[in-house]
A and B are shown apart, each in its own frame.
Chain A
């Protein structure tokens, strides 16, 4: 009779104890969980530790900013705008204003800031009652206690460095790329000199033209240039372009 039964149900009777396996696992899990703290944190009362380069809202170093507009150009959600404001000495200066409601917290503004004035901050609790409150003006954007690690540096490895057996070297493109003049297109309009935020462009005389007017070509101070491309963009005759020169 037993043989008939086992032929009909050819299962190992010990397999009926499969119930104990998950029970044992759950008991082990329970034991672990009461000894250690659970994974969950009680958010409003406890906060997770945030690294310094956490992509929170953008922060600004008001004095370091040169109003080059690089962040405005690079922002993928177009939430940054340069607005006129007063600095500590009462002068009118341009500084970025961020619409946090549109900000994607990508950190591109901090990455592309050539002077590291724009940084990321670990601040992420940004809820406000109205949409107007979400617009962070330059003064409000200033974040107390910006540290070195909140700056994000855009760095790259050069192909030449790899070829020369020095692959660890990282260089910022803002130190490599400089505007280059195509002299035949230049009409000496001095626009590049006006738009340069760091006064790195100087118009130098190169003789006179047939009408007796001086021919001025821009010359770039490679030490102070921050490669913000404002001159390239504003050139009416497209006489400037950015090239890797250094």
Chain B
């Protein structure tokens, strides 16, 4: 067979023309990964064809079905990497801002201190995998895997824009919330499994924290969905761009939700499950090395998801107000991330200024302050809805 150019094997086909395209609308990361696979798969099939001319594997590798499959694998990698880098940037921002709040410099290693995050991650990954002898090994490993796994799953599931999503389904906000609320159960079981008093107290406190903030938080999510008339994230954001950002009609809910989201991410001042000043490291006491590093990463991923929830529900998502569709179409992902980091900045300032609540105070705060406020918020929204404003 005659020599074939590599350009014969790399055909930049339109991703939407693929009959096995898995989405209904245009998806940017899938497009990127599809094009990446066209280059990679074309190169591989060209090389195989050079060695074994006229074989079937080369044609199989660049067929529509197989391209789609490998593009989905690359798609997962891209989605995870973006969530990972966003999380690392939040971590870096927290370190720098907290440093400035305390009149320090924060981390200083490489790229204004960003490389310190990578160095820390690398260090924890180099550590030995230590499992204490008296823990319940199966529960010990499974719970931490599930905590990290659900956190990373929801971090990946946050849509960055109308074209950057994993799945676009009708109950988006509810599914994210459900997965988000799973972690305290695993924390409770993990605290029990570790056979350590600090872990057990930490797990109990996580459960206590959950019963105090979860219900007002769900009421506020229901309020937003009521206002928007949909659980779909796209619909909520389009509704906000059509009317006003939802933090204007439900300012009470916005402020309360920021505190609830802080509690959901278990950050200061609601980090009573960790409480490194009272309990050694709370429920993470027996986890060392790579597991601890991943738990920390998962913590920050949950922080990122909390901020993303605030942005989706109250701050208009990826759309700039009063801007035309052209301007909004340039970089909606960046707009979304900037808003997320703004909310994260508020959380860092809260962390720098407030002391940790006591275990008896958290239930009081949850049921005597957050709960009435969320009900008041719901009442206001109901009045607005019934009055025909929205």
Contacts and interface: CB of A to CB of B under 8 A. Distances in A.
A19 interface: yes
A26 B104 contact: no
Contacts of B103: 29, 33, 38-40
Nearest to B368: A9
B354 interface: yes
B105 A22 contact: no
Given A26-B349, A27-B349, A42-B108, A33 B101 contact: yes
Do most interface residues of chain B lie in helix, strand or loop, or is the interface mixed?
Answer: helix
Contacts of A159: none
A127 interface: no
A29 B101 contact: yes
Residue of A29, A30, A33, A40 most packed against chain B (CB within 10 A): A30
A32 B178 CA distance: 41
Interface in B205-257: none
A30 B354 contact: no
Contact of A34 (B100, B350, B354): B100
Contacts of B105: 38, 40, 42
Residue of A22, A26, A42 most packed against chain B (CB within 10 A): A26
Contacts of A33: 100-101, 103
Nearest to A20: B353
Interface in A46-76: none
B353 A38 contact: no
A26 B108 contact: no
A16 B369 CA distance: 10
Given A19-B354, A22-B353, A22-B354, A30 B101 contact: yes
Residue of B104, B349, B354 most packed against chain A (CB within 10 A): B349
Interface string A4-38: 00000000000010010011011101100110001
Contacts of A26: 101, 349, 352-353
B54 to A, nearest CB: 63
Contacts of A16: 369
Nearest to A36: B103
Contacts of A23: 349-350, 353-354
A64 to B, nearest CB: 44
A33 B349 CA distance: 14
Nearest to A9: B368
18 contacts: A16-B369, A19-B354, A22-B354, A23-B349, A25-B353, A26-B101, A26-B349, A26-B353, A29-B101, A29-B103, A30-B97, A30-B101, A30-B349, A34-B100, A38-B105, A39-B103, A39-B104, A40-B104
Interface of A: 16, 19, 22-23, 25-27, 29-30, 33-34, 38-40, 42
| Shortest 3 CB-CB contacts between residues of A and residues of B | A26-B353, A22-B353, A33-B100
Given A26-B352, A40-B103, 16 more contacts: A23-B350, A23-B353, A25-B353, A27-B349, A29-B103, A30-B101, A30-B349, A30-B352, A33-B100, A33-B101, A38-B100, A39-B104, A40-B104, A40-B105, A42-B105, A42-B108
